[in-house]
Every structure is written in C-alpha cells, then in structure tokens.
Amino acid sequence: MRGSNSGRRRVKFIADAMLGKLVRWLRMLGEDVTYSNRFEDAELIAVAEKEHRVLLTRDSELHKRATSKGVAAFYVEGLTEAEKLAELAGRFGFTLAIDLKRSRCPRCNAEIQVTPKQKLAGKVEKTTLIYYNEFWKCSKCGRIYWQGAHWRGIRATLEEAKKIKGQQQLKFI
C-alpha cells in the first residue's frame, strides 16, 4: 500500500464544506480525503457509506444523522488548523509530518510524483527553477509543487499541532 505509516491501517475520509482548508492539510500529510463544497448532507453520508470513508464534519446535526445510520463520522472540535490536525492525528494515528513520497495533491487528492526540473521549463517561473531543485507534479490536475517560502509556515503549523497533540496525550495519562 502506497505510503504506509508504521503499519497503521489507512483510513479514508470525506469532509464537509466547513473543512476545506483542513482537507488540503490532510492531503499534504498523505491522507485520502474526498471533498466538494457542493455535496449535500445526504450525499456526504451516502459517499462515506459506499466508499467506507470516515465523515469529518463540524456540523453536529450531520454527525448525528451519519452515526444514526451506522456511518463512521468524526465531529471536529478544534478551532485552528493546528488544533484540528492534532485532534485528528490523535484519533486516527497519522504522523504530523509531510513525507512527499506519501503526499497527495492538496487541490484534487491525486498522487504527486517527483518531476525533474528540466521538464518544467515554461511551466514555472525561471527564478523558481533557479532557487529550487526538487519539484512534484500532480498526476491528475498537473499542478506543480516545491518547498518554497511558504514552507516555513507549513512547518510552524505542524510543530504547533505536534505540541497540542502532546498536551492532549498528557491529559489522558
């Protein structure tokens, strides 16, 4: 299985419209997350059931409806992205670190692949090709990624999530 995480059984998710930003984070972390801000509640529940996905939601009524139908659902309580990530990592056991061998496209959820910079001439800014050596391309939408200046913010959010997760675990000891 692609991107195994210390032998943990990979959970697939579907998320409601309130969690679009969280979806992108989860995909970067390698989690398979179906998302559309156009899904109606009944459709979310049906897809979760059909595809054996855990429904992630901030809507308590949707959570109740899903669980009453026997669909796995998780009510996300965190307010910040770091809190949400810590909460989900604690519950579902994924690592709060980006491994680009496992990452999925934040935009469309497809796998991303290492792409030689020579193949990207004309597709990204020349200065980007000068300053960065590693690039990844989405196998579906073609979006190109690299570890640019925004990477510091990504790392800071993940470090904050790890700290929160550690504090949550201490509460239960």
**From start to end of the chain, where are the E strands?**
13-15, 33-35, 54-57, 73-75, 112-114, 136-138, 144-145
Cα of 22 vs its chain's centroid, Å: 6
Q: What is the pLDDT of residue 8?
A: 60
Task: Note whether residue 24 is domain-resident.
Answer: yes
Q: What is the pLDDT of residue 58?
A: 98
Task: Note whether residue 8 is domain-resident.
Answer: no
CATH of the domain at 67: 3.40.50.1000
Task: Note whether residue 68 is domain-resident.
Answer: yes
Model confidence pLDDT, tens digit, residues 62-108: 999 999 999 999 999 999 999 999 999 999 999 999 998 999 999 99
Question: How many domains is the chain partitioned into structurally?
Answer: 1
Task: Note whether residue 162 is domain-resident.
Answer: no
Task: Note whether residue 109 is domain-resident.
Answer: no
Please, which pLDDT band fits residue 7 given cuts at 50, 70 and 90? low
